[in-house]
């Protein structure tokens, strides 16, 4: 039988549910918990509030799976506008951006070249204003293409960040290959439904793989970014940082906007570098459904809001 998670992740790419959910007031109310607004003007005060509290941000202009080059160019333009708006805030690396290459045309014909061509000016602009770009990782079919674009970008912009998903069987090799001096790698468990041929299935196996990968990153010469809300993984990261003599400025914890904010504040107050992943934009549907799929409590919260309307 299909699990709720599998059903939801399948729905995240189906237009019928998108049409049913988008625009209902209840959905909007629940979405607001995870998304910083539909416009840049709504997202910027969130950036100022979080950074004012000592929490750095990585901003995601929501959008994925574009279907023509015009939409891909619009993604580039949205990120350039975002970086231009960040420049006067003078936050430097405390406000960086995360991009999904599927929003830059990766899945279109000739998509690897197109996505590189369109993301390059975003990375150049980020470098100019003293910050960085991290390439989010999408489903397993995109990993090779994303790592190829990353390698190209890193020639001139070595601080461009990567994301690796512990759930994928290949990731232990990828982690070892990317654990190089200065290399910024966000390690996450993985948000996509993947078959057993490419991914660990059970939670225990994914957690064990995450711990192994984290060990390699924390031991290595790069800049690990611990992308998890899991207290066990955060505690492990803290232990490994102490064991390998890492200074507080040589790694960071990242959590999603709207999730475990008290813990984000606690860690930041204790001297750990913390960064919140802050999505904004009108195209929040895929992001939102992945959050529902990740955690039964998120789904229950949404269903409760629906029935108590």
Binding-site residues sit at: 100, 137, 165, 189-191, 228-229, 290-291
Q: What are the residues whose beta carbons fall under 8 Å from the beta carbon of 270, sequence distance 6 or more?
A: none
Q: 274 with 228: CB under 8 angstroms? A: no
Closest by alpha carbon to 57, among 79, 86, 19? 86
Q: Is 254 in the site for ligand FAD (CB under 6 A)?
A: yes
Q: Is 220 in the site for ligand FAD (CB under 6 A)?
A: no
Considering the complex, state which of residue 101 and residue 114 has its C-beta at the smaller distance from ligand FAD: 101
| Binding test (CB under 6 A) with ligand FAD, winner from 198, 230, 265, 305 | 230
Of 179, 182, 164, nearest to 218 (Cα)? 179
CB-nearer residue toward ligand FAD: 5 or 128: 5
Compute the distance between CA of residue 9 and CA of residue 223 in angstroms, rounded to an integer. 31
| Among residues 251, 277, 284, 285, the one that binds ligand FAD under rule CB under 6 A | 277
CB of 23 to ligand FAD, least distance (A): 25
Q: Provide the annotated binding site for substrate.
A: 100, 290-291
Residue 32 or 87 with smaller CB distance to ligand FAD? 32
Cβ 226 to ligand FAD, closest distance in Å? Answer: 9
Is position 264 an interface residue for ligand FAD (rule: CB under 6 A)? no
Q: Could you identify the residue written with the tokens 């001297």?
A: 271
- The residue among 226, 276, 252, 279 whose CA lies nearest residue 53 is 276
| Site mask for ligand FAD (CB under 6 A), range 36-65, x = bound | ------------------------------
> Looking at 189-305, which runs of residues are DSSP E strands?
223-227, 252-256, 274-280
Q: What are residue 284's phi and psi, to 5 degrees?
A: -90, -5
- Whole-number Å distance between alpha carbons of 99 and 79: 9
User: Shortest approach of ligand FAD to residue 203 CB, angstroms?
Assistant: 7
In this structure, the number of other CB atoms found within 10 A of the CB of residue 24 comes to 13
* β-sheet bridge partners, residue 56: 275
Binding-site annotation, residues for FAD: 137, 165, 189-191, 228-229
Measured distance CA(201)–CA(159) in Å, rounded: 32
Q: Is 174 one of the annotated active-site residues of the chain?
A: no
- For position 137 contacting ligand FAD by CB under 6 A, the verdict is yes
CB of 88 to ligand FAD, least distance (A): 25
Interacting residues toward ligand FAD by CB under 6 A: 136-137, 163, 165, 186, 188-192, 227-231, 233, 254-256, 259-260, 277, 294-295
**Catalytic center residues:** 136, 186
């Amino acid at each position: 039988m299909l699990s709720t998670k599998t059903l939801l992740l399948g729905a995240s790419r189906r237009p019928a549910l998108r049409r049913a959910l988008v625009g209902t007031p209840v959905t909007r109310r629940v979405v607001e918990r995870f998304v910083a607004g539909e416009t840049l003007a709504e997202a910027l005060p969130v950036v100022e509030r979080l950074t004012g509290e000592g929490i750095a941000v990585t901003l995601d202009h929501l959008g994925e799976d574009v279907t023509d080059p015009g939409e891909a160019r619009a993604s580039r333009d949205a990120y350039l506008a975002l970086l231009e708006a960040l420049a006067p805030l003078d936050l430097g690396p405390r406000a960086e951006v995360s991009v999904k290459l599927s929003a830059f045309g990766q899945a279109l014909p000739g998509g690897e070249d197109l996505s590189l061509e369109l993301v390059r000016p975003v990375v150049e602009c980020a470098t100019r204003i003293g910050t960085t770009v991290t390439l989010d990782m999408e489903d397993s079919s995109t990993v090779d293409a994303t790592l190829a674009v990353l390698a190209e970008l890193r020639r001139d912009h070595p601080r461009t960040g990567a994301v690796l998903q512990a759930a994928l069987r290949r990731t232990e090799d990828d982690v070892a290959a990317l654990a190089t001096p200065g290399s910024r790698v966000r390690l996450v468990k993985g948000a996509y439904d993947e078959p057993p041929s490419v991914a660990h299935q059970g939670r225990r196996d994914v957690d064990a793989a995450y711990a192994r990968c984290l060990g390699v990153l924390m031991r290595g010469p790069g800049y690990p970014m611990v992308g998890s809300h899991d207290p066990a993984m955060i505690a492990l990261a803290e232990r490994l940082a102490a064991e390998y003599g890492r200074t507080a400025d040589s790694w960071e914890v990242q959590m999603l906007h709207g999730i475990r904010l008290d813990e984000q504040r606690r860690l930041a107050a204790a001297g750990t570098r913390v960064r919140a992943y802050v999505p904004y934009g009108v195209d929040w549907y895929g992001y939102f459904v992945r959050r529902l799929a990740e955690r039964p409590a998120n789904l229950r919260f949404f269903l409760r809001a629906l029935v108590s309307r």
